[in-house]
Chain A
């Protein structure tokens, strides 16, 4: 496996130019994903940035480092992969289908972490080709946080790999837990804090250029906002959360959170205001 170290994340301009240029890639069906590992050898958790992130997503101080926060650290690596020749597809137009996070140890501001994102598996989806990106974050010798995200490249015919099967049980009876708003500027605010300035999230106009009628919320924001309501008011040590993104959340919107909970486990969906259309489905467990 090829390893590429990235000490200094690319400037935002370079990152987006790369992302745009990557749009020239037009592969057909591929049989295997190149094996490549992108690494940030040392990232220190900054409390100010964590606080900014927490504020945008609705976490409280008592949640500690939000379980979804380390995802932000992987973003420069994911973008580096997308704009490299190793990634068969362009960044734009690749759909974030699902992701799974497992926090194995409690994180704290000041922790020095090693962040790795490597290419994973190919999975066949009825609408195109899924590929996975596998993240692992270590603190010293300790594996503290792992994640797997599924990206779907739409329109690839004869996709490779085993057929996609949802890990999350649909049709679980859920109860209306809370409502929250996804404000019109949340794409810009989350974009600023996360670095993910994909134009489909930023404004109605920029979203229209890419075929969306209005800006849509970052899936990772929707996930984080739901978790802010679901996580216990403490910095938990171990937690797992898996989500699948179902339909775009057009901004601005009122959305509803539906849950089935027991002591350390919550199945949940973020739905539209009427509660009849899911934007996101997930399963959280913690202890």
Chain B
């Protein structure tokens, strides 16, 4: 029987994130993940090393990339004997990967591991037309040439120009993520002004972090890009106010509050973090940034019970706090993934709402407010962009470094994910 060990976060690496169809328009998930892993390997001198496990994933994935992570590992200078696997939990992928690797380390199954994620919405997997696909499959099953001709005769030219495109929509509701977030903003009465203010703060905080050189040892340049190209350092509240709501047509025409400015754009990018046992870190003389102390996942019924699609972190956090014996105020940093400014603001409002905390979260008292100056202090997804599976790695590395710089403290991570899921964690030092 092993004892449970602390899991150290040694460091992280990511490539700068790029808005969809910009700098990485022709980059594949494979290339981006490989470049990101190699950057991490270079930084911590892992050349030729057999790492215990590498877990990563992508939300938007080609069928040919079934072994995306292992193929990337094989393209790096890690030992070829390094195992790897793919996983996917929508926007929670990166943090879930870190949790799984961390758990293996905690249980002593491995000494070190890498967790990460990558996504591209530029190099999207376009499928052939669904009817056409079935005809082609039928044709491949045909036994005679005549049968094959008869099946193929059903093909129509129109099928070529109506491919099957990936959609950023919930299969059970047909609403896009933005439409769900708009519904939540309406339910919680989150104003446009608050959303724009949060978006502005994200950009200003990220710009300041770049200026301070915070990301220097968390990032490697890729395709000539050296910082997130969604960042607008000169963004103003007036510019944000000038944008028109983008997701209100089906929800409440002309009454929307979510715009392209206070929602994350589709983004390409990749991230990875290096996790290890204290012993492994000490043996390599690698300083520990922080420890991954707790994690929790939750899911909500956004379909029958009509809970907000992105409200699962509101459920996950109090459950994790109860296990950790902490209150919401016991943190020095809060990293709440900004899928939409409205998602962050709904979550914070929910934690202060007595009825919601009692009736939905089953709490005796509301979790209460947080100090807004501790929230996403180096910017978050609104400014950096949000390559779905890569966001977790970005946040873990950022928060771990924040804690390392502070010397000691505690940070909370909250990430919402498609399908009504939430992935949360606590980092300590």
Is the beta-carbon distance between A262 and B191 smaller than 8 angstroms?
yes
Interface size class of B (residues with CB under 8 A): 10 to 19
CB of B406 within 8 Å of the partner chain = no
CB of A179 within 8 Å of the partner chain = yes
From B161-169, B239-247, B292-300, the one touching the partner chain is: B239-247
Is the beta-carbon distance between A257 and B254 smaller than 8 angstroms?
yes
CB of A275 within 8 Å of the partner chain = yes
- B163-193 CB contacts (< 8 Å) to partner A: 189, 191-193
CB of B237 within 8 Å of the partner chain = yes
CB of B196 within 8 Å of the partner chain = yes
- A176-208 CB contacts (< 8 Å) to partner B: 176-180
Q: Report Cα–Cα, A233/B255, bound state, in Å.
A: 10
Contacts of B245 in A (CB 8 A): 177-178
Q: Report Cα–Cα, A262/B191, bound state, in Å.
A: 6
Is the beta-carbon distance between A180 and B242 smaller than 8 angstroms?
no
CB of B252 within 8 Å of the partner chain = yes
Q: Report Cα–Cα, A263/B243, bound state, in Å.
A: 21
Residue in B189, B242, B243, B259 whose Cβ sees the most chain A Cβ within 10 Å: B242
Contacts of B237 in A (CB 8 A): 173
Is the beta-carbon distance between B241 and A176 smaller than 8 angstroms?
yes
Known: A261-B192, A262-B191, A263-B189. A177 touches B243 (CB 8 A): no
Contacts of B241 in A (CB 8 A): 173-176, 258
Is the beta-carbon distance between A229 and B254 smaller than 8 angstroms?
yes
Residue in B189, B242, B243, B254 whose Cβ sees the most chain A Cβ within 10 Å: B254
The A contact surface, by secondary structure, is strand
Closest to A262 in B: B191
Is the beta-carbon distance between A177 and B252 smaller than 8 angstroms?
no
Is the beta-carbon distance between B196 and A175 smaller than 8 angstroms?
yes
Q: Report Cα–Cα, A233/B252, bound state, in Å.
A: 9
CB of A36 within 8 Å of the partner chain = no
Contacts of A261 in B (CB 8 A): 191-192
Closest to B238 in A: A173
CB of A260 within 8 Å of the partner chain = yes
- B184-213 CB contacts (< 8 Å) to partner A: 189, 191-193, 196
Closest to B196 in A: A175
Q: Report Cα–Cα, A263/B185, bound state, in Å.
A: 12
CB distance from A174 to the nearest CB of B (A): 7
Q: Report Cα–Cα, A257/B255, bound state, in Å.
A: 11
- A83-134 CB contacts (< 8 Å) to partner B: none
Given pairs A175-B193, A261-B191, 6 additional interface contacts (CB within 8 A): A175-B241, A176-B259, A177-B192, A178-B256, A229-B253, A260-B193
9 contacts between A and B (CB under 8 A): A173-B193, A175-B243, A176-B243, A178-B244, A178-B245, A178-B256, A180-B254, A233-B252, A260-B192
**Which residues from chain A sit less than 8 Å from chain B, CB to CB?**
173-180, 229-230, 233, 256-263, 275
